[in-house]
A and B are shown apart, each in its own frame.
Chain A
């Protein structure tokens, strides 16, 4: 496993950035500063970060309704993201998408997606384009345990495996499909078990250990780049918050929540960094403070950005 000190500190910074971004959203959503729905990635930071640390700009991701983490990990610009969440013209989508539709096609981010399970066919198509152009790029479809029940999961895995496309199906099994625990919505516990039905490898990995995610996703991405076809990688994780902000998550057993909080991916990585003398506590504190400052700046940028002109409603429906 080839993670160098700088890479690992980079990964740490990305995770802290996601944490700071989402924590700030909790605050501003509660304060009524942003409209609509937000689904937060708190607790799942290791997955997006560990996966995207293996990706290049030319690679594609298809994200989910819980997409902020994926976007930050793939290199999304914090100010443009925050401005979008605020519905401002300076946002990634000029205020027309909001939290659930942030995209940056130039960075290979094919969008967060408001439809659970919709990203898998899209990533499959992007992977087809990579193979068609033979440019060595790959696509990753992020989706949750709930989405693995959708027909799109079956259709995408079936097509991608039949066509041997360079795509990784990256399941973030956070144990909950909205308010339904995994055992109430599927008759299996390891979603990786489904891979064999498509003739592809499937692995399960601790999704709260960024190094384990990095290794497993890295091996799957390497397979894709080599032309060996798709892989199903299941990262077992936990969302700290409810399904959306405003959902108190009353369906969760507090004991489970407590156990999972002990497995919080950020302190776990901190422990490693300290043990390896890659950083001292003051370094980590500084990284955290820096990311929080970046987020403050993004909020300032968003709040001081203009609201869209109502005429903007009518643009971008069609490409000319």
Chain B
């Protein structure tokens, strides 16, 4: 184990896999000498050189589009999109090309690629640099969606994403990049589709991921002081989703709260709620609740942005209303 930040852990995940497999390379805007807009790629350019760590023009469509072609031709690209907000510029390449190629070709193509992209508000970056939009990707059959909440998960899920033979959207939260934690050294894989119980509890199940996982954990500690023992589950990957672990927990607690940072309407919480309502209705002794961002764009002024974001207080309040 070694102490690493979330950003270092992502980098270490890429580093180990690049050492392991010469077909893995990294391309994106400012990822080489500059080390990435948020410093995530850091020293990888110095370690692997210009053949394997490539700066691209500001051309999201061809960053993702070329990765599709390179993956179909036998490589394992990691394509970085500087902000998840920029995915609109390369959505066709992701949802019509990468996601569907295998299916359209009758299973005769493999598209092993990772699209890494940071998400999240909380730094005054306003409406076009702050979003969480994971349900854009979970709505597309053919791609997997990964959202780590801890440094160890960040590393292990990165390895799994790179080794996966499918397109994987790997979403890093900007607020987590500097968070430190214990991370296994060397090869370390966290399988996709395996939820993690981040806090065991018996009174309510809180499902949250990415930055909201940390908020949910902090809220759970405060709730414990108030006598509510929450179980906090981090699905870690939304597609594939470990619904069994969620259902198992709800069967124990009888209550479900889902927390996410993306906006409420058509957000992924709705999907989890529907699954539990469908397959775990008998376990429930209260309506399923959601804590999410409101259905607005993300405002700039810190006062407004704070009002926008889900918080520990909002989580605690929602939980208390369920008792």
Contacts and interface: CB of A to CB of B under 8 A. Distances in A.
Asked whether the complex places CB atoms of A and B closer than 8 A, the reply is yes
A121 B97 CA distance: 10
Contacts of A62: 69
A96 B97 contact: no
A313 to B, nearest CB: 10
A298 interface: no
B70 A125 contact: yes
Interface residues of A, number: 48
Nearest to A141: B69
A103 B69 contact: no
A118 B57 contact: no
Contacts of B56: 159
Contacts of A315: 107
Contacts of B105: 92-93, 96-97, 101, 103, 105, 111
B127 interface: no
A170 to B, nearest CB: 15
A310 to B, nearest CB: 15
A97 B73 contact: no
A37 interface: no
Interface in A127-176: 127-130, 132-133, 139, 151-152, 155-156, 158-159, 162-163
Contacts of A120: 62, 65
A155 B59 contact: yes
Nearest to B92: A115
Chain B interface extent, by class: 35 or more
A82 B134 CA distance: 39
Given A122-B69, A159-B66, A132 B51 contact: yes
B108 A156 contact: no
Nearest to A315: B107
Contacts of A101: 104-105
B3 interface: no
Contacts of A317: 102-103, 141-142
B96 A118 contact: yes
B166 interface: yes
A256 interface: no
B102 A129 contact: no
A163 B25 CA distance: 15
A95 B145 CA distance: 28
Nearest to A104: B108
A74 to B, nearest CB: 15
B61 interface: yes
B54 interface: yes
Interface in A52-99: 60, 62, 91-97
A156 B75 CA distance: 18
B223 interface: no
A22 to B, nearest CB: 21
B109 interface: yes
Contacts of A250: none
Given A92-B108, A125-B77, A130-B73, 14 more contacts: A60-B73, A94-B107, A103-B108, A118-B65, A122-B68, A122-B69, A124-B62, A126-B69, A129-B70, A132-B75, A159-B57, A316-B107, A318-B142, A319-B110
Interface of B: 25, 51, 54, 56-57, 59, 61-62, 64-75, 77, 92-93, 96-97, 101-110, 112, 141-142, 144, 165-166
